[in-house]
Amino acid sequence: MATVRKFDVEHPDKATPHDEVESAIVRLIDCGLEKFIQIDTYGRSSREKPGKLSQTIRLDKAAFEKFVELGRKHF
């Protein structure tokens, strides 16, 4: 699991598509003093352990706002 508080932006010259997962779960986390948006992805059906938690990324408020800003500019 990783808590992200800051982004460094890169523009790669070449990118290839990633395999897709069926869905991801977004969790709204409230730790009392701080809130987070957490995104969990699970292994695709062709993996050795399908459905197993694969990645977890947790964004604090500032990182989420920056992520939304980057998305609006990019798309």
Which pLDDT belongs to residue 38? 95
User: How far is the CA of 73 from the CAs of 11, 13, 67, 69, in angstroms?
Assistant: 13, 18, 10, 6
pLDDT greater than 80 at residue 72: yes
5-24: pLDDT as tens digits: 988 899 888 989 888 877 78
- The set of long-range contacts for 37-41, using a CB threshold of 8 Å and a minimum separation of 24, is 37/64
43-60, pLDDT tens digit by residue? 777 777 777 788 899 999
